[in-house]
Structure 1
Amino acid sequence: MSGKFFDTSNLRGDVYGGLTAGVVALPLALAFGEASGAGPIAGVYGAIIVGFFAALFGGTGSQITGPTGPMVVVFAGVFSSLSGDPSLVFATVVLAGVIQIAFGVLGFGQYIRLVPYPVVSGFMSGIGCIIIALQLARLFGHEPAGSGTIPALLEVPNAVSDPHFGALFVGLLTLAMVFTWPAKWGKVVPAPLAALITGTIIGLYIEGLPILGDIPTGLPGLVVPTIESDTAIIIFEAAFILAVLGAIDSLLTSLVADNMTRTRHNSNRELIGQGLGNTVAGFFGGIPGAGATMRTVVNIRTGGSTKISGMLHSLLLLAVVVVLAPLAEKIPHAVLAGILVKVGYDIIDIAYLKRAHKGPRFDLMLMALVLGLTVFVDLITAVLAGVVIAALAFVKQIADEQLRKASGADGEEDHSLSDEEAAIYSQISDDITLFDFGGPLSFGAAADLGHQVRERVGRHDHKALLLDFSQVSFMDVSAARAVETITVDAHSSGKRVYACGIRDEVDGVLSGLGVNEYLSADMQYPTREAALRAASVWIKED
């Protein structure tokens, strides 16, 4: 990215990319707005406001921001829980924006991207399934009796048995167009826009077809957010979920943009831009948004590369709202449902699902668990459960590897010794156990480490034990206690303990916790060779 706030070196590409992205965003904004419960115009307001401010202040030049599947799924639940009260609903959006700004200011951007791929795949695929489930009945001209995935699925049998054939026709036509629209035609007219126009025109001649109805024109009015005591928990919880999902969604899209443009985004600056956009959108009745992968890819492929393209995308949508809003009143619900089914399908990680059986079985099980929790419980539970399980599994793998080495099961007895060290070791190998920590010790392995070393020393009935700390760059309390267990056991059984390569940071932890009682300074050596020589002298004298 350029050092200038506005980089006009690619102005022509940015204009074309931004306008094209705006055309693609229009039907999606209307569809997401309708699906959220706040109305199609709220979707467009969200795309305009969040898109403009995220582009202006964000850290990914080519990113297009607007309503996305994950954000809409959560927001729709909030809208239903708060009975559609604008002051409460949009207080959630404002608060989510403030939390995202805090994430950016506190430097959380680098940590949010650490979510494991199976978890991301699972909750994105789950969101795709939710979006499709919510729209199935609408394709048949029916409206689910309640909000959420379960009521939507329960309505499907009724819709199938008693369809509105006009709605079904335009819905199926929309699906056919968005799934089969030729790529070369899409460069001129994007598939969602073509389906929107075609379905709306046909819908004008079908009697009794459910349509959007009245849509406000002009600029949005100010919404004064409020938080009441009986709804505060709902608002704060939903705001946090929106903030986290929006952050993950945006930063994943930023990574896609980086790969396509060979640039590097600023994660924390991106979060601040996204937060500012959502905060302002909340004050004007716009639904929350995040970095939108498809719209960003369209922008990049048609020439956009700087924040100018994202801002132009928003200005085009603003012009549409001011001038063309009355025409949008005739759009059938079934058309927007068809467009959203395609959006849901695109969100599902089909590429991974096709090959998942060839990869690690644990990752597939984790992905399936997160998907199920996303669809039938809630998104934050799914993500938190997935991250915790993945982290514990990783710690277990590392611990097992460390313990395998500690037990000597790998059969590596030379420990990568130099020629001088090997010569000394070969003379005393029948009397000393050389234990190389091999790197920072995980707390997962610490609990069993003492037992493994005790078994290894006892197996050979050695007189001495050499602990090599050369590759241990840091140590936590769990690891320090494991070292204490090893030294106490060795002392109790009459073994002599030598140590080498202890760094100042590690020595500070050991001495601070009183662990080095049986690891005196005169038994510590700067190098492994020096420790082996000292051990050799003692063993021969003994």
Structure 2
Amino acid sequence: MPDMSLNQSSPTARRPLVAWARRRLVRPAWPGLRVVRVELLAGLVTALALIPETISFSVVAGVDPKVGLFASFTISVVIAVTGGRPAMISAAAGSMALVAAPLVREHGLQYLLATTICVGVTMFVLGQLGVARLMRFVPRTVMIGFVNALAILIFTAQMPHVIGESPAVYLLVGAGLALLLTVPRLTRAVPPPLVAVVLLTLTAVMFDLSVPTVGDEGSLPGSLPVPGLPSVPMNWETLRIIAPYVATLTAVGLLETLLTAQIVDRMTDTSHDANREAWGLGAANIVNGFFGGMAGCAMIGQTMVNVSSGGRTRLSTFAAGAFLLLLVVPLRDVVGVIPMSALVAVMILVSVMTFEWRSVAPATLRRMPRSETLVMVATVAVVVPTHNLAYGVLVGVVLSALLFTRRVAHLTEVTSVLDPEGGERIYAVSGPIFFASSNDLVTAFDYAHDPARIVIDLSEAQVLDSAGVAALDDVRQKFSDRGATVRFAGATGGTAAMLSRLSTSAAEPAAPPPSASVEETPGQTDGTSAHK
């Protein structure tokens, strides 16, 4: 009888890629006309803000503006479907442009496209492996420093468009800020940035004002992007050239994206899927590389524009990419006359809204531990001059780890009591025992005056690493050198397992509790720190 199992299998079972897509990708639901209108308008405003920023970042990377514009379109459209953080805008970002610039300068555009594809593949694999979970180790103070540094960078990036320009530029920027602050009090039917851009553009055209426009930033493309393979040799030499850039761009892109996602979570009181965002951004960059775009990631400035304009769903992200393509290809002549002053006003307000003003309020600074303030300031101090968010976050995380280790090391305490009947000195160790507290632990015992029998009670201690075990063995050896015997007791759980594997002496399962008659010997209570 023939086997009919293959014929009876479902279409999904026969098509694993379809099954994977159904599990992983979004199934859009109709949100309602009002939500659609808000999302589309938010996407339109975001697209307008994307154009000058993307052109500027293309110049930073040393490529034609269309490379950045096509990248922003492709990434936004793809990640609207694959991403894990609705309403977040990903495009050709400045941090990625800074990293890519030396590669373009030394080897040309085609190597950048090959790098972009490899960055996408790496992000996709890391997302599938769940590496994004490591973001939970980024402290809140580092995130605050990250946000404040970004706000400062957004603000300072607008200054070249204002300083040294004609009085008309200052008037338009001032009028734009006034509109952005006034329109929300009058109506919420239309995003204030869109009102400001339209009215200021009409004013500049009607009065024939001589002010810088979007068209002055760079030429806009006249045709749609065409997919193709990068024209580079497929050999080990190419891999050697692009590998360092792939690693750096992947790290910077994922770090900036996942930090931005957490910021949007706080603003919208929602949550994101970090792993999905990682592999979704990877998929977007793979497609982006084949369409001739530079590597991209989340852009906090444009994300703030989108969210502040009412964007909350994937539709606003998709609309931003779609409107961007519509504006820079068929409507490039119209977009070219938009005064930069209008977009500068929008970005200045975004920077002011992004900055965590509460973090620098005198009352907050008085209450906040100095170590946390130091971490926040250090993060800002590194990001602002380098314009590299990854460097700032790395410094902040390392500094936080060092300060945390220093603080935890002082939680280890040693107290002692003398058992007059048994003739034993019982030391009780509490707190974590690890590399940072090991040196102080060794000096906390009275080796010269103690009796011949010593009990070290570890029931309240946690031995965390081999350095902690080595410190206990050093204590035992010092007592042994003076003719005393040492017995470790009370170790349980992980502490007992660590001692059994690494210690040169055995640990007993339970410490003998001091009897009621035992009195604490004056001068024998000690600790590695007087404070917790």
The TM-score range, normalised by the shorter chain, is 0.7 to 0.9
Equivalent position of 1:357 in the other structure:
365
Equivalent position of 1:75 in the other structure:
97
Equivalent position of 2:5 in the other structure:
none
Equivalent position of 2:297 in the other structure:
289
Does structure 1 residue 528 correspond to structure 2 residue 528? Answer: no
Q: Which amino acid aligns with 1:11?
A: P
RMSD of Structure 2 on Structure 1 (CA): 3.9
Q: TM-score, normalised by structure 1?
A: 0.74
**How far, CA to CA, are the matches of 2:448 and 2:192 in structure 1?**
72
**How far, CA to CA, are the matches of 1:390 and 1:309 in structure 2?**
36
- Deviation (angstroms), 1:276: 1.7
- Aligned-partner SS, 1:526: coil
- Aligned-partner SS, 1:173: helix
Whether the 8 Å contact between 1:63 and 1:296 is mirrored in structure 2 is: no
Whether the 8 Å contact between 1:24 and 1:295 is mirrored in structure 2 is: no
Does structure 1 residue 111 correspond to structure 2 residue 128? Answer: no
- Aligned-partner SS, 1:435: strand
Does structure 1 residue 493 correspond to structure 2 residue 445? Answer: no
C-alpha distance 254-123 of structure 1, shift in aligned 2 (>3 A): closer
Moved more, 342-351 or 389-398: 342-351
Determine which of 73, 89, 94 is the counterpart of 1:48.
73
- Deviation (angstroms), 1:222: 4.0
C-alpha distance 294-527 of structure 1, shift in aligned 2 (>3 A): farther
Determine which of 41, 54, 64 is the counterpart of 2:88.
64
Does structure 1 residue 246 correspond to structure 2 residue 270? Answer: no
Whether the 8 Å contact between 2:459 and 2:491 is mirrored in structure 1 is: yes
- Deviation (angstroms), 1:486: 1.3
Moved more, 109-118 or 495-504: 495-504
- Deviation (angstroms), 1:397: 0.6
Contiguous gaps of at least 5 residues in structure 1: 141-158, 415-424, 537-542
Equivalent position of 1:446 in the other structure:
438
- Aligned-partner SS, 1:499: strand
Whether the 8 Å contact between 2:154 and 2:348 is mirrored in structure 1 is: yes
**How far, CA to CA, are the matches of 1:256 and 1:124 in structure 2?**
8
Contiguous gaps of at least 5 residues in structure 2: 1-21, 519-532
Q: What is the CA deviation profile of residues 490-516 of structure 1, one whole-angstrom value per residue up to 9, with x for unaligned ones?
A: 222333322234357655544544x32
Whether the 8 Å contact between 2:96 and 2:249 is mirrored in structure 1 is: yes
Q: What is the CA deviation profile of residues 90-116 of structure 1, one whole-angstrom value per residue up to 9, with x for unaligned ones?
A: 455444433432431332212133222
- Aligned-partner SS, 1:33: helix
Q: Which amino acid aligns with 2:479?
A: A
C-alpha distance 135-313 of structure 1, shift in aligned 2 (>3 A): closer
Q: Which amino acid aligns with 2:466?
A: V
Whether the 8 Å contact between 1:101 and 1:272 is mirrored in structure 2 is: yes
C-alpha distance 371-401 of structure 1, shift in aligned 2 (>3 A): same
**How far, CA to CA, are the matches of 2:500 and 2:487 in structure 1?**
16
Does structure 1 residue 167 correspond to structure 2 residue 198? Answer: no
- Deviation (angstroms), 1:394: 0.7
**How far, CA to CA, are the matches of 1:168 and 1:233 in structure 2?**
49
Q: What is the CA deviation profile of residues 395-421 of structure 1, one whole-angstrom value per residue up to 9, with x for unaligned ones?
A: 01101222xx13x4xxxx79xxxxxxx
- Aligned-partner SS, 1:327: helix
Whether the 8 Å contact between 1:27 and 1:192 is mirrored in structure 2 is: no
Whether the 8 Å contact between 2:220 and 2:328 is mirrored in structure 1 is: no
**How far, CA to CA, are the matches of 2:211 and 2:374 in structure 1?**
43
Determine which of 423, 426, 432 is the counterpart of 1:433.
426
- Aligned-partner SS, 1:467: strand
Equivalent position of 1:339 in the other structure:
346
**How far, CA to CA, are the matches of 2:115 and 2:350 in structure 1?**
25
Equivalent position of 1:396 in the other structure:
406
C-alpha distance 313-26 of structure 1, shift in aligned 2 (>3 A): closer
- Deviation (angstroms), 1:123: 3.7
Q: What is the CA deviation profile of residues 428-449 of structure 1, one whole-angstrom value per residue up to 9, with x for unaligned ones?
A: 69842232343x4232112332
C-alpha distance 269-96 of structure 1, shift in aligned 2 (>3 A): same
What pairs with 1:225-244 in structure 2 (closer than 5 Å)? 225=230, 239-244=246-251
Equivalent position of 1:421 in the other structure:
none
What pairs with 1:450-529 in structure 2 (closer than 5 Å)? 450-452=442-444, 454-455=445-446, 461-470=450-459, 475-503=464-492, 506=495, 509-513=498-502, 515-516=503-504, 519-520=505-506, 524-529=507-512
Equivalent position of 1:219 in the other structure:
224
- Deviation (angstroms), 1:182: 3.6
Whether the 8 Å contact between 2:227 and 2:290 is mirrored in structure 1 is: yes
**How far, CA to CA, are the matches of 1:234 and 1:166 in structure 2?**
48
Percent identity of paired positions between Structure 1 and Structure 2 = 22
**How far, CA to CA, are the matches of 2:102 and 2:338 in structure 1?**
23
C-alpha distance 131-293 of structure 1, shift in aligned 2 (>3 A): closer
C-alpha distance 215-297 of structure 1, shift in aligned 2 (>3 A): closer
C-alpha distance 256-278 of structure 1, shift in aligned 2 (>3 A): same
- Deviation (angstroms), 1:41: 5.5
Determine which of 367, 378, 381 is the counterpart of 1:369.
378
Q: TM-score, normalised by structure 2?
A: 0.76
- Deviation (angstroms), 1:485: 0.6
**How far, CA to CA, are the matches of 1:199 and 1:235 in structure 2?**
44
Does structure 1 residue 36 correspond to structure 2 residue 38? Answer: no
Determine which of 267, 280, 290 is the counterpart of 1:273.
280
Structure richer in helix, relative to its length = 1
**How far, CA to CA, are the matches of 1:315 and 1:176 in structure 2?**
29
**How far, CA to CA, are the matches of 1:75 and 1:344 in structure 2?**
20
- Aligned-partner SS, 2:84: coil
Moved more, 271-280 or 11-20: 11-20
- Aligned-partner SS, 1:468: strand
- Deviation (angstroms), 1:328: 0.6
C-alpha distance 444-124 of structure 1, shift in aligned 2 (>3 A): same
Moved more, 294-303 or 236-245: 294-303
Whether the 8 Å contact between 1:6 and 1:308 is mirrored in structure 2 is: no
Whether the 8 Å contact between 2:456 and 2:486 is mirrored in structure 1 is: yes
Number of residue pairs aligned between Structure 1 and Structure 2 = 479
- Deviation (angstroms), 1:206: 3.2
Equivalent position of 2:121 in the other structure:
98
Q: What is the CA deviation profile of residues 91-145 of structure 1, one whole-angstrom value per residue up to 9, with x for unaligned ones?
A: 55444433432431332212133222333333433333333333213214xxxxx
